[in-house]
Amino acid sequence: MQHFISPVLWQFLVKWLTNFAIFPPEASSIAPYADALYFFLIFISVIGLGAVAALVVTFSIRYRQSRNPVATQIEGSTLLEATWTIIPLILFMITFVWGALLYFRIYSPPPNAMNIYVVGKQWMWKIEHPGGQHEINALHIPINRPIQLTLISQDVFHSFSVPAFRVKREVIPGRYNTVWFEATKPGVYHLFCTQYCGTLHSQMIGWVYAMTPEDYEAWAAGSTSGHSLAQNGERLFASLGCNSCHNGSPNAHGPNLAKVYGSRVQLQNGQFVTVDDAFLRDTILNPTLHQIAGYAPIMPTYQGQVTEDALIDLVEYIKRLDSDYRIEQTIDNSASQPVQTGTTPAGTSAPVLPPGTVKQ
């Protein structure tokens, strides 16, 4: 058969018959909702286009010059204008409300979501699991469990997109963005960078592996670097000297960080803010921008000295600080243990990550 038609055409036909995508898989809890809105929108589009096409075609046939040589001049009709203002308006308002509900659903993570960190850089995705699994261009997740991604870029704008989950979020330098999803079907799905980010933009792709909880547990146990992000953060905390001020003692120079995550703190300017990931990151880089009330603005800035990966370690560490005891322990550890910052020990599947601190 393939001798009779050109090989290129043959290849094309084979592809057509075997590997021809027309609709993305519905693999997250959000996907059916997004698709429902999509089909509704297609429906009103078909109605709208059909109405216009019907009018144009009917009038073109009925009032063509050979059949209707005399045009009747009509000024207009307020009633009709009102009709075709109000009906589209109503349809658009339905779309608006529906879309807004979906948007809030996609961008408001549930409180029990499992957190994974994503760092985008030209041109790869670095995925960091709190348990110490580091991945490049791959994301392993369990199904039926809400996953929240905390995304940041260390250079230009990227965008984290998983079409099968119908979620996408811009990955921006200098600020955490979040997105959440809950995979429903085990499988391997595309992960794209959708924001143009330079030369190899189209190679900043990867795979999302949605696994059953059992498979996921097995993978997590087998792929961990042995050091959780919090543990890495603990070492950094000591090596950067954070513990000299944030030591939890009553007359410390810096605020006590135990249980600080999620609490509301008062700033120098009287504002109250809730401590979250973004706030922690920002106070490390720009301490006096968010000066906690009652402390002197003496903390140095770590802007340009700590990588995004290391910041994630620190945030993860502070997040899990639930007692003063932990800090005291850090102080003890730092005296005896050599400093190892954010590196991955050999023997794990993940590639070696850049060291946590920037060599100056």
Partner 1 sequence: MSTIVSLPDQSTATLPKVSYLNKEYGLKSWLLTGDHKRIAVLYMISITLFFFIGGAMAALIRLELLTPTTDLLAADTYNKVFTAHGLIMVFFFLVPSVPATIGNFCIPIMVGAKDLAFPKINLLSWYLYIAAGIMMICVLVFGGVDTGWTFTTPLSTHYLNTNVVSAGLAVFLAGFSSIFTGLNFIVTIHRMRAPGMTWFRLPLFVWSHYAASILMVLGTPVLAITLVLVVLERTIGIGVFDPSKGGDPLLFQHLFWFYSHPAVYIMILPGMGVISEVISTFSRKRVFGYTAVAFSSVAIAVFGFFVWAHHMFIMGISNYSALVFSLLTMLVAVPSAIKIFNWSATLYKGSITFETPMLYAFGFLGLFTIGGLTGVFLGSLGMDIHLTETYFIVAHFHFVMVGGMLMAYLSGVHFWWPKITGRMYPEGVSKLAAVITFVGFILTFFPQFILGYLGMPRRYAAYPPEFQVLNVFSSAGATVLGVGYLLPLLYLTWSLKYGKIAGSNPWQATGLEWQIQSPPLTENFAETPIVTHEAYDYEWLANKTRNEVQTVG
Partner 2 sequence: MDSHTLAAQTGEIGHVEHEHPPFLRHHFENVAQQREAATFGMWLFLLTEIMFFGGLFCAYLIFRNWYYPAFVAGSHSLHIWAGTLNTTLLIVSSFTMAMAVHAAEVRHRKPLLAWMIATIILGCGFLCVKAYEWHDEWVEHHVPGLNFNPATLEHGTKAYPDDNLAPDMAQKTSIYFSLYFAMTGMHALHMIIGVSLLTFLLIRAWGGAYTSGHIAPVENFGLYWHFVDIVWIFLFPLLYLISRHQ
Residues 297-316 interacting with partner 2 (rule: CB under 8 A): 297-301, 303
Half-sphere exposure in the Cβ direction for 180 (13 Å, CA): 19
Q: Any contact of residue 254 with partner 2 (CB under 8 A)?
A: no
CB-nearer residue toward partner 1: 221 or 289:
289
Q: Any contact of residue 173 with partner 1 (CB under 8 A)?
A: yes
Q: Any contact of residue 144 with partner 2 (CB under 8 A)?
A: no
Contact partners, residue 277, CB within 8 Å, separation at least 6:
150, 176, 315, 319
Judged by CB under 8 A, the stretch of 128-136, 200-208, 219-227, 338-346 that binds partner 1 is 200-208
User: Could you tell me the two tokens for 199?
Assistant: 């030369």
Among 119, 139, 141, 193, binds partner 1 (CB under 8 A): 193
CB-nearer residue toward partner 1: 173 or 187:
173
Phi, psi of 181 (to 5 degrees): -160, 165
Smallest CA-to-CA distance from 91 within 33, 51, 147 is with 51
Residue 242 Cβ vs partner 1, minimum distance, rounded to whole Å: 21
Among 2, 5, 32, 105, binds partner 1 (CB under 8 A): 105
Q: Decide: 319 and 272 in contact? Cβ < 8 Å.
A: no
Query: How far from the centroid of its chain's Cα atoms is residue 284's Cα?
Result: 22
Q: Any contact of residue 69 with partner 1 (CB under 8 A)?
A: yes
Half-sphere exposure in the Cβ direction for 322 (13 Å, CA): 1
Site for partner 2 in 259-288 (CB under 8 A): 285-288
User: Could you tell me the two tokens for 197?
Assistant: 């980010």
CB-nearer residue toward partner 2: 34 or 299:
299
Site for partner 1 in 16-45 (CB under 8 A): 16, 19-24, 33-34, 37-38, 41, 44-45
Q: Look-up: residue for tokens 């959780």? A: 228
Judged by CB under 8 A, the stretch of 58-66, 133-141, 217-225, 262-270 that binds partner 1 is 58-66
Given strand 138-142, what is the order of strands in its sheet? 138-142, 206-211, 187-193, 158-162, 167-171
Residue 240 Cβ vs partner 2, minimum distance, rounded to whole Å: 15
Q: How many whole angstroms separate alpha carbon 179 and alpha carbon 175?
A: 13
Interface contacts to partner 2, rule CB under 8 A: 285-289, 297-301, 303
